[in-house]
Amino acid sequence: MALRSQILTSSLPLLPTHSFTRPTLIQALRTIKPELPNPESVVDTLFGPGSVGASKALVERWEEEGLKAMSGPGEGKKENLGEVLRRRIEYSARVGEHLVEAYANLSTPSSTPSIPLPSLPILRALLSSIKLPPSYIPPSSPLHPAPTSNQSASSILDQISNMTGHRLPLLSIDPLGPMGYAWRIADEALYLSETRGKKPGAVRRGYWNEPTGPGPEWYTKRIGLSLVYLSSESPLLQPNSSSPINTHLPQALKSLEGNLNRYHSIISSLENTESNLGDTAGFVDFVARSIGGIARSRYM
């Protein structure tokens, strides 16, 4: 096993106490190879400098193991959807209060977007005419009065421009991160509860026996179940005690039960609507064929 994979695997048991952070990887590396003189440089080489890349890699490995934890002991057989999602929520609860850190890493973009700072002469001329009030300075001795500030808004803009490389960084989040996380969980749950165990090569066909791929029902189920899971797991993000297991787990499981009942009710209504649409399409097809037959019999 590669060293990077060994570090990530050894870091998982440390998550309830060390969270999804770069020091967790360093601690795991010290456990694997205590003879290394500078483990921080090794982590920089394997995961990149800073904490963003290291934390994201740790969250991704934790998520991969969570998908494996959703499968029950019965290999190759369909499972109950509620039990599958229950196992996944219990897996998330094992990291205690540090689940918030996982969500924060999921919402953090890999790079910080920025825009060029304005350099219009008119703007700079306007800013140079604005004199800013002096910043607060604690009272000084009467023999040494505090100096007054003649700094303008234009000079402050120049300072910011020099510090940021003439670009203005934008604070942003990645809202698709948590949604993608929930989508992958929903997709795995539906596979374990609906698709696993089916004969390979089976082709789904439509009303007129035409081969079809993933249709609206396929996407609707995954989007709906993603929202069900995010809503059910949200109690685990509340402030937690020092217990290694999240104390809000019973509330999350109760929320999962209620959300799944509503999910099944909505999916059942949609399936009935689809069946009604299919009956309507069949009736329209029958009427069209009958009219065509009548027209041909009348030599029209």
Q: For the segment 112-131, what is each residue's pLDDT rounded down to a tens digit?
A: 666 666 565 655 565 566 66
For residues 189-213, average pLDDT? 68
pLDDT of residue 298: 46
| 42 found inside a domain | yes
Instruction: Kindly state whether residues 43 and 192 are assigned to the same domain.
Output: no
| 167 found inside a domain | no
Structure tokens at 8: 């990530």
| 19 found inside a domain | yes
Q: What value does the mean pLDDT of the chain take?
A: 77
Q: Is 221 exposed, middle or buried (0-12, 13-18, 19+ CB in 10 A)?
A: buried
Distance CA(234)–CA(227), nearest Å, equals 11
Instruction: Kindly state whether residues 97 and 29 are assigned to the same domain.
Output: no
pTM higher than 0.75, yes or no? no
For residues 141-150, average pLDDT? 50
Instruction: Kindly state whether residues 104 and 188 are assigned to the same domain.
Output: yes
Instruction: Kindly state whether residues 187 and 48 are assigned to the same domain.
Output: no
Instruction: Kindly state whether residues 269 and 221 are assigned to the same domain.
Output: yes
| 60 found inside a domain | no
Instruction: Kindly state whether residues 176 and 250 are assigned to the same domain.
Output: yes
Instruction: Kindly state whether residues 190 and 98 are assigned to the same domain.
Output: yes
Model pLDDT for residues 78-102, shown as the tens digit of each residue: 889 999 999 999 999 999 889 999 9
Q: When comparing pLDDT for 166 and 268, which is higher?
A: 268
| pLDDT of residue 12 exceeding 90 | yes
**Distance of CA 256 to CAs 53, 86, 209, 263, 267, Å?**
32, 8, 37, 10, 16
Q: In which domain, by residue range, is 186 found?
A: 70-109+172-197+213-300
Instruction: Kindly state whether residues 255 and 292 are assigned to the same domain.
Output: yes
Question: If DSSP states are collapsed to H, E and C, what string results for the chain?
Answer: CCHHHHHHHHHHHHHHHHCCCHHHHHHHHHHHCCCCCCHHHHHHHHHCCCCHHHHHHHHHHHHHHHHHHCCCCCCCCCCCHHHHHHHHHHHHHCCHHHHHHHHHHHCCCCCCCEEECCCCHHHHHHHHCCECCCCCCCCCCCCCCCCCCCCEHHHHHHHHHHHCCCEEECCCCCCHHHHHHHHHHHHHHHHHHHHCCCCCCCCCECCCCCECCCCHHHHHHHHHHHHHHHHHHHHHHCCCCCCCCCCCHHHHHHHHHHHHHHHHHHHHHHHHHHHHHHHHHHHHHHHHHHHHHHHHHCCC
Q: Which residues contact 67 (CB under 8 A, 6 or more apart)?
A: 184, 185, 188
Instruction: Kindly state whether residues 185 and 258 are assigned to the same domain.
Output: yes
Q: When comparing pLDDT for 164 and 181, which is higher?
A: 181
| 280 found inside a domain | yes
Instruction: Kindly state whether residues 94 and 49 are assigned to the same domain.
Output: no
pLDDT of residue 97: 87
- Region of residue 138 (left: phi > 0; alpha: psi -120 to 50; beta: else): beta
For residues 198-205, average pLDDT? 61
Instruction: Kindly state whether residues 20 and 95 are assigned to the same domain.
Output: no
Instruction: Kindly state whether residues 93 and 15 are assigned to the same domain.
Output: no
| 291 found inside a domain | yes
| 11 found inside a domain | yes
Count up the domains in the chain and report the number.
2
| 118 found inside a domain | no
